[in-house]
Amino acid sequence: MKSLIKEFTKGIAIENPTFGLVLGLCPTLAVSTSLINAIGMGVAATFVLLGSNIIISAVRRLIPAQIRIPCFIVIIATFVTINELMMKAFFPALNQALGIFVPLIVVNCIVLGRAEAFACKRPVLDSIFDALGMGVGFTLALCIIAAVREVLGAGTFLGFGLVKGFEPITVFILAPGALLTMGILIGIVNYWHIKLKTSKEITKAGCDGCK
Amino acid sequence: MKEMLKYGFILGLICFLASAVLSVVNAVTEPQIKLQKETEENLALKEVMPEALNFKPKFEGEKVIYYTAYNNVGEINGFIVKAEGKGYSFVIEAMAGLNPKLEITNVKILSQNETPGLGNRIMKDSFLSQFKGKGLDSFNQVQAITGATISSRAVINSIGNKISELKNQLLEELQHGR
């Protein structure tokens, strides 16, 4: 049980896909213009991650190592398509807001990364917790970036106006704002990690030390 | 060789299973997606011409080129045209209601992908309400939004072009209807 919790929390904190592993930045930068989009994208990606992790870890012994990548892609693409069809049928507004980034979850490196690095080597239960942790971590990171951008760039929070007379800083809604916000947030997270490490006085040598 | 066949078989099997799952999901969601599209379109039609009761699409091949709107006694109330123009980032789809004098009653943006906060201000009422009552000759009075000239122009021009393109056809239909 303890190890399962560890698999879950690592995705949120140390190995956070956005701030720790710095994976899947394209959708992160593109859809984090408003908080509601960020939540939608996070949930969609978590669904795909969960589905692909479960299936891949369940059939991991049947897939020969030489053709594992095409197999992973087919499985991931299947879940993305299910996701897209469901969204179109039941949440058309969200589908329109996320646009091209829903089908593009296929090439989101977080999903393939978890399949390759985790699900194809570990049992189903571990993979479920890994997927949930990564999904929640990705969603949280997206939400933090989106909240900063929406508040500064549009003067709203979840679509509600905040302060009257506040002239929004439009650049935060645009692409440069995404890079600025993310850079600063990654900086803060890294600073916090380093501080945490030195306070525990854990010093590791070699490649493991500079993760 | 034998290995290759084995890999091909496994990959083929996975693809087969995946397509089987997808066909089931598609069968479940397809009617719902169609329904969503229709209600969306109907809502948009009602929005650009609230006083009309019925809408009859006019087809050219598979594509709807315009809708004729009828009131409760079956007279032609006007037309609704769909226009597409290249915006700053992508095609902007707009829908415009026309009265029998071919003046605009209302405009609605169906889909757009413009920059949030700049280009997507074309969705705002302050811009779209300018179209009300404009005909072909008074189109140039519609003011583009500052900082979103390309997006605004795309809407203005696409609607204007569409009306002049369909003008004769619509007038003919009017005479026919009466």
Residues A6-17: tens digit of each pLDDT: 888 888 877 888
A26-30, A115-119, B91-95: the lowest-pLDDT one: A26-30
- Residue A96 pLDDT level (bands cut at 50, 70, 90): confident
Partner B, chain A 55-74, Cβ-Cβ below 8 Å: 62-64, 66-67, 70-71, 74
pLDDT value of position A201: 55
pLDDT value of position A205: 46
pTM above 0.95? no
Question: Does residue A102 contact residue A91 with C-beta atoms inside 8 Å?
Answer: no
The Cα–Cα gap between A17 and A45 comes to 12
Testing the interface with A: which of B29, B38, B88 to mutate, by most A Cβ within 10 A? Answer: B29
B63-70 and B54-60: which strand pairing?
antiparallel
- Asked whether the predicted pLDDT for residue A47 surpasses 70, the reply is yes
Q: How many domains is chain A built from?
A: 1
pLDDT value of position B131: 87
pLDDT value of position B24: 95
Q: CB–CB of B116 and A92 under 8 A?
A: no
Section B156-162 average pLDDT: 89
The Cα–Cα gap between B67 and B58 comes to 6
Instruction: Please give the structure tokens belonging to residue B65.
Output: 């080129």
Selecting from B6, B14, B36 the residue whose C-beta is nearest the C-beta of A89 gives B36
The Cα–Cα gap between B170 and B162 comes to 11
Instruction: Please give the structure tokens belonging to residue A49.
Output: 């991650």
- Minimal Cα–Cα distance from B146 to chain A, Å? 14
A99 vs B contacts (CB less than 8 Å) = 113
Answer positive or negative: Cα dihedral of A92, A96, A97, A103.
Answer: positive
Testing the interface with B: which of A48, A61, A63, A71 to mutate, by most B Cβ within 10 A? Answer: A71
B117 vs A contacts (CB less than 8 Å) = 153-154, 168, 170, 173-174
- Residue A169 pLDDT level (bands cut at 50, 70, 90): confident
- What is the share, in percent, of chain A residues with pLDDT greater than 70? 94
A106-110, A194-198, B86-90, B115-119: the lowest-pLDDT one: B115-119
Q: CB–CB of B116 and A154 under 8 A?
A: yes
- Asked whether the predicted pLDDT for residue A76 surpasses 80, the reply is yes
- Asked whether the predicted pLDDT for residue B26 surpasses 90, the reply is yes
* Per-position b or e across A124-159, b if 16+ CB within 10 A of its CB: eebbbbbbbbbbbbbbbbbbbbbbbbbbbbbbeeee
pLDDT value of position A206: 45
pLDDT value of position B177: 64
Roughly what angle, to the nearest 10 degrees, separates helices A35-58 and A124-154? 170
- Residue B1 pLDDT level (bands cut at 50, 70, 90): confident
ipTM of the complex: 0.72
- Asked whether the predicted pLDDT for residue B116 surpasses 70, the reply is no
Question: Does residue A110 contact residue A44 with C-beta atoms inside 8 Å?
Answer: no
pLDDT value of position A209: 45
Selecting from A77, A89, A174 the residue whose C-beta is nearest the C-beta of B29 gives A89
Q: Which residues constitute the domain of residue A68?
A: 2-209
Closest residue on chain B to A69 (Cα): B11
